Amino acid sequence: MRDKPFVHQQGSDAFSVRFVGAQRDLVKEALLWIIHRREADATIRVWAGCNTARLERLYERVKGADQNVFSIEELHVLHAVLLSLYSVFVSEEDFHIKIGFYRENALALANGLVKAVGNAMTETG
């Protein structure tokens, strides 16, 4: 799986992001896993940086299009969701069974997202 999505800056606080193939599937699975947790909204907000309703809106956007424009805050939520999953599961096997990917894929995509945003800012800055 490619570790960096395609990112282009779309103004001072917005980025066009295209998750390809397995990247998009991983982001969707990560969002769904947290959306379907039976936790207090405060717990979800600590994990993801936002409430469940916002996660649901992000999921619909990712599910509905190959490319989306996200704010820095939304990118932070996606990054937090990918990273938070890493520590929630007891084992690599459990992570793979529940999410369908390996922990290293989530870490690589989270780090790749940060690098891609930084590169996009450098290209336009």
User: In this model, does residue 123 exceed pLDDT 90?
Assistant: no
At residue 30, φ and ψ (nearest 5 deg) are -65, -45
User: In this model, does residue 32 exceed pLDDT 60?
Assistant: yes
Share the mean pLDDT of the chain: 94
- CA-to-CA separations, 118 to 14, 72, 87, 113, in angstroms, rounded: 12, 11, 25, 9
Measured CA to CA, the distance from residue 58 to residue 45 in angstroms comes to 14
Measured CA to CA, the distance from residue 82 to residue 72 in angstroms comes to 15
Question: Rg (Cα) of the chain, in Å, rounded?
Answer: 14
When comparing pLDDT for 125 and 84, which is higher?
84
Q: What is the DSSP letter of 9?
A: E
User: In this model, does residue 64 exceed pLDDT 90?
Assistant: yes
Give pTM, 2 decimals. Answer: 0.93
Helix (H, G, I), strand (E, B) or coil at 41: helix
> Which pLDDT tens digit goes with each residue over 73-122?
999 999 999 999 988 888 999 999 999 999 999 999 999 999 999 999 98
Q: Which pair of tokens denotes residue 17? A: 């992001």
